[in-house]
Every structure is written in structure tokens, then in C-alpha cells.
Amino acid sequence: MIKIKRALLSVHEKEGIVRLARVLEKHSIEILSSGGTAKLLRDNKVKVQEISDYTQSPEMMHGRVKTLHPRIFGGILARRDADKGEMKKNGILPIDLVVVNLYPFEQVSVNDKVTLQEAVDNIDIGGPSLIRAAAKNHEFVAVVVAPSDYEMLEKELDENKGSVGKELSRNLAVRAFSLTAHYDALINEFFSQKFGIEGHPEILNLTYSKMFDLRYGENPHQTGAVYRELKKRESSVCFSKQLHGKQLSFNNILDVNEALELVKEFEEPAVAVIKHTNPSGVASSSSIKEAFERAYGADSLSAFGGIIALNRPCTMELAEPISRIFVEVVIAPKFNNDALKLLMEKKNIRLLESGDMSKSDEGIDVRTVSGGLLVQSRNCPKISPKDLKVVTRRKPSKEEIADMLFSWKVNRHVKSNAIVLAKGNATVGIGAGQMSRVDAVKIAREKSKGKCNGSVMCSDAFFPFRDGIDEAALGGVTAIIQPGGSIKDEEVIKAADEHNMAMVFTGIRLFKH
């Protein structure tokens, strides 16, 4: 047990500190403090000694230097046995409890309008130093870094007559080091962005806050939790508001992310139906209702138990057909009141409100591999009709070009090898995640159930042989959009010409693994 005789209290967030100080007083624990914390305690009739009086050194530089003193850090870092002589020689008294929270750099830095000076002024120096010192010496010192832990500390002190157990002290030290690592990572990220450091850093510091534990991970035998970025860059599943239904699962979150990212590709009304991270159907139209009908109808069998994303508010005319089918999650910018009321009659459906459908190519995409991480940029070039290189004798029609650009947007979100068949700004067949490209074409054609006649085909990478073109022709595909770049391009173009197809190259591969 650590007997607490002297405590240092220095907090920016004052919530709960007076109550904690009174508990310390009850156990005859001396209190050292400074600045606003000391004033608050005195105003509430709590006996406190100013740190500057204790150190015989005044606060300097408008408070930038106040706790950085040997009598403070010696009292925290001293081993109560090995350093006893030096403590006595230098007039250092032991400090057994450190209660500190930090300047709000996190809250300040996420403000888009923050100036560099404001950010610098909110970088805490003394606080992290006190926390690290106390956590390092956790065998003799307890450290508390969050008001949410005060009640736990108060209970511990009451149950142990002013002492803290070693197990709690160790747990508090872990929390303390976690906080300082998080704090430094935030500062590192802010300055890297502010000063325009480009490329991928030599050391990658990532910091996310925990939203909640999941019931399990991808499978029931795995544990899981969900974390999110500290700053909202764009609409996302992690920053959406859940309006109804039980907690999202690990797999729900993956699927909702894919659905939302897909409909964010479109400025016009669009709907995506996702199953196991791949779209079963996608459509865009001048009407969100028509987009839903065509997206769901593209493959209603696969859509059973899927995820629906809308890039327009969910109205009653959408809620009514959705309420009649089995859907795991619906995410939309907003739900009209009558639509929400109807859908909430379904006990097991989850409803998420994303807010505005903002989209950003900033940030990084991070994936784990055993022993490491893969990191890449999120950006993807945009294409327009003028970017399409026609390589066949027949040029695509205006309608075919529109469907090509639509299918290209969808294909970005289909697992490789990926084939998307589309007609009239709606998918009619999708072949996803196949080991051979020709098999992806066959599956997309079969899934279309004949609807691919007169459609365009998008491939996420080049065709290595002409067989994919021949398979597409069997389904009545009239035009193809693909990156090009195969050593067999000439053979592939010849096949397209034989079938009177139009083919364009984009020069952009869309692999998604």
C-alpha cells in the first residue's frame, strides 16, 4: 500500500477537484497546488499550500514555469528507500499523489480556425512532466489524470484509510502513460500538417479515441472494439448518430463504411446496397426513390439482410418499401420524422444519421498485417469524358459514356478482381473478389439474369486475355471501360472490335483488396 501524506493538485479541468480535495483533507493529506486550482480550493475553504511558497521560487513567464523545480520532481521521483538521504539533504518532502489534467490541446487543435500561436499556448509542458514522473515512480506514487477517476480514488482512500493499493497505482500509471503518448501524438500530427511535411513519416504516430467495446469481433470467438479519429474530416460511420436499434457489430461497421463511402461518390441522388463489404446493387437517378428501387432490384436475393446507404434524406416514400424487407442497417443524411417513426417499429433494424454527405480524399488508409501496418493515401483521380481514350473502331455513345463513368465510380468500391455491369446509371451485375478476371465477368453476367443486354462493363484492372471480352459479348455488353496496359491489349481490342463493342482506356487501376 502507498500511504498518501502529500498530494499535488494541478488541473485545467476543474470538475470534481473540490470534492476530491475535501476527501484528501478528511484523511489529513497535505495539498500542494498552484494558479487557478489553488485559488478554487481556497475559495471553497480547502487548506492548500502554493507550490511557489513550497519551492521558494515564483511562477515565471506568465505561468509557463511553475512546477518545474527539483523540490517538486525530487518529491515525486524519489525512491522512498534508496533516495532517503538525498531527500533529507536537499530538503525534499515526498509527494505521494499527483492529480493532473492537461491544457486542452486536443480540443483546440481540432478547430479549423485555430492559429499557430493558440495551439502553441495550449501545449502543456509541466503537466505531462509531472504525470510521467509520477507514473515512472508508481511503486511509491499514485497518479490520476482524469476527473472520471476521482470517484475510484476517493473510494480507495476511504476503504484503506488514506492509502492506495499497488494494483490500482499500476493501473493508474498505465492510464497516465497512455494519456501522455496520446497528447504527444496529437501535437506531432498538428505540427506535421501545419508545417506541410509531405510523404509518409519515418515514425507513424496514430491516436484514436475508443467509442465502445463490441459484443465480439468479426466472429464470436474474437473480441472487438471501435475507435475513431479525434477530428471529423467528413461524414463517416464513426461520426454518425445512431437513432435506433441495437449496437452495431464489427461486421455492420465495415459494411456501413463501404456503403456510405460508395454513395458519397455521387452528387445526384444515389443508393447503395452492401452485403459483406461488396455492393449487391447501386443506382443513381434524379429521384432517390427510383435510385432505391433500382439498387435494391439489381440483386434483391443478395440484398437480403444487407446494408442500405442513401445520400439523400430518408422520406416516407422510402421508409415504406424498406420497412417491408429485411435490412440490417439504413444510413442516411437525415430521417424525416414520419419515416423514422415507421422504421423504428422494426425492432432489429439499426438507423444511422450521417449528417451532410461530405467527402474528403485527405488522410491515410491504414491496414494491418502481422507485425506491421500498410499505409497509403486515400486520393483517387477523378475522370470525365475527356479523360477516356477510345481504342476501338466504334466510339461509345453518350449514354454508354454516362454508364461507363457511373460503373467506374462503383468499381472503386468492389473487391478485386472486380467487374461491374451497368445500364441506365444502375448496376445490373457485379462480379467481386474473384481469382481470375474472366470468372468475375461470368459471375457478373450470371447475376444479371439477362439484364446485362445493352449494358457497359467496367473492369478494375486490365484484361490479361480476350476471354473476358468474349464472355461479356455473350451477355450483350456493348461497351467496356478499363485501365488498359496489358501486353495483350492489342488482342483485347481486336476482340472488342469483332463484337462491335466500344472500348475506352482510363489509365487508372482500381484494385481494392
Q: Which of 5, 27, 276, 334 is catalytic?
A: 276
88 given a catalytic annotation: no
Residue entry with cell 433494424: 349
Q: What letters, b where the CB count within 10 A reaches 16 and e where it falls short, cover 347-368?
A: eebbbbbbeebebeeeeeeeee
Angle, CA of 420, 406 and 470, to the nearest 5°:
35
Asked if residues 394 and 501 have their Cβ atoms less than 8 Å apart, the reply is: yes
Q: Which is catalytic among the residues 12, 27, 136, 512?
A: 136
Beta-bridge mates of residue 133:
none
> Which three three-digit cell numbers place residue 193?
500538417
Cβ neighbours of residue 16 closer than 8 Å, sequence gap 6 or more: 147, 150, 151
Estimate to the nearest angstrom the gap between the alpha carbon of 324 and the chain centroid: 32
Contact call for residues 59 and 66 (beta carbons, < 8 A)? yes
d(CA 354, CA 179): 29
**What does the block give as the cell for 508?**
487508372
Residue 31 φ/ψ, nearest 5 degrees: -120, 125
Q: Tell me phi and psi for residue 9, to 5 degrees.
A: -120, 120
Nearest to 295 by CA among 322, 317, 278, 272: 272
- DSSP code for 60: B
Helix residue spans in 44-102 (DSSP H): 51-55, 70-77, 84-89
Question: Exposed e or buried b for every residue in 232-261, given b needs 16+ CB within 10 A?
Answer: eebbbbbebeebbbeebbbbbbbbbbbbbb
Instruction: Tell me if residue 27 is catalytic.
Output: no
Specify the DSSP element, H or E, that contains 227: strand 224-228
Residues acting as catalytic residues: 136, 276
